[in-house]
Amino acid sequence: MSSSSRSLGSPCSGEVAVHCLASGSSANALLVIAGDDALLVDAGLGVRRLRTEIEKRGIAPERLSGILLTHEHIDHVRGAIPFARRYKVPLFSTAGTLETLFAQERRDAPYQILPAGGEVGVGSFGVRSVSVTHDAVDPVGFRVSFGDTALAYATDTGTVTPEFREACVGASLIAIESNHDIHKLRFGPYPDSLKARILGRHGHLSNNAACDLILSHASEQGPACFWLSHLSEINNTPRMAMNYWKKRAKAAGLLPSGKAGVFGPAVVEVALRDQPSLVYRTRTRAVQLALF
C-alpha cells in the first residue's frame, strides 16, 4: 500500500492510480486509472473541467469505461450527462437516480441501471453498488476492484451502513465522508431544521463518525488508506478534520509513525474542496474471477 503525490500521468503496468479531482459540497469527482482503462466515480465538475483534469492525467475522455453516480445531487452529477453524451461514456447508477436525471435532460446519453447491491464489470473494473442512507432518491456508495486492489467510496451518507462496512473489507483505499465537526455545526449559522437534517440518519457523517469507522476497520481489518471526504465549507476545515483524527487515534492507543496522519495501520489524508488534491497509487496483481 502506498499513497503519494508524484507527477501526473497514467499509471505504469500493474499499477492502479486514484485521483481526487474534487471533494466537497460544491463538487465531487474521483478518477480511477488502471493500465489503459479508467472510470469516474461521480462527475460533479463541469464538462470542460472534467476533460481538462482527465487529460492532464494522460487519459483521453472517450477512453473512460464508465461514470459511476452515487446520487442525483448537483455536486455529484453537474457534468455527468453532457460528458456521457459528448464522449459516449456510459453512466451507471440506480434506476431512481437515472430517472431523476433524465427528467431534467434529454435521455440521449448511454446508461446502465445498477441497483443497490448489484455487481457489474465496467471495462477492466469490477463494480459493486452498496446501499447508503442519504436524502436523495436512491443513493449508493461503490466498491471498485481491479485485480487485488479495491476502493470503497461513500461520501454522502448519514450512517455507515452494514453494506458499506462489508464493501470496506479488503479495500486498500476507503474514501469516507467527514462532512462536519458536530460542535461547529450545532453552534454555527445554519437554521435548526437544516442542522437536524445534516445530523440525521439521512444526512451526513461527522468527523466523529468517520473516525469511528477508521478505528474499527484498523482494529478488525488491518492496514488501509483513508480519505476524509466531502468536507463542509461552513462546518469543517481540513485542519479540524485531521486534528480530530489525531486526537481519536492517540486516545485509541495507535502509535504515530512520524508521518502526518499515519497512526498504526491507518493512513489518513484529507481531500480538498473544489480542486485536485490526493493521489493514491499501488501495485496490483491480477486475480482471476475476483472482480468484486
* Torsion sign over Cα 44, 49, 50, 54: negative
Max CA pair span of the chain: 54
CATH placement of domain 15-283: 3.60.15.10
Predicted confidence at residue 262, as pLDDT, reads: 86
The answer to whether the Cα torsion of 121, 122, 125, 126 is positive or negative is: negative
pTM higher than 0.85, yes or no?
yes
Q: In DSSP terms, which residues pair with 33 in a beta bridge?
A: 17, 38
Q: What is the pLDDT of residue 183?
A: 97
Can you give the pLDDT at residue 284? 64
**What are the per-10-residue average pLDDT scores of the chain (292 residues)?**
38 78 94 95 97 97 98 95 97 97 88 97 97 95 95 96 96 97 97 97 96 95 94 97 96 86 90 92 57 36
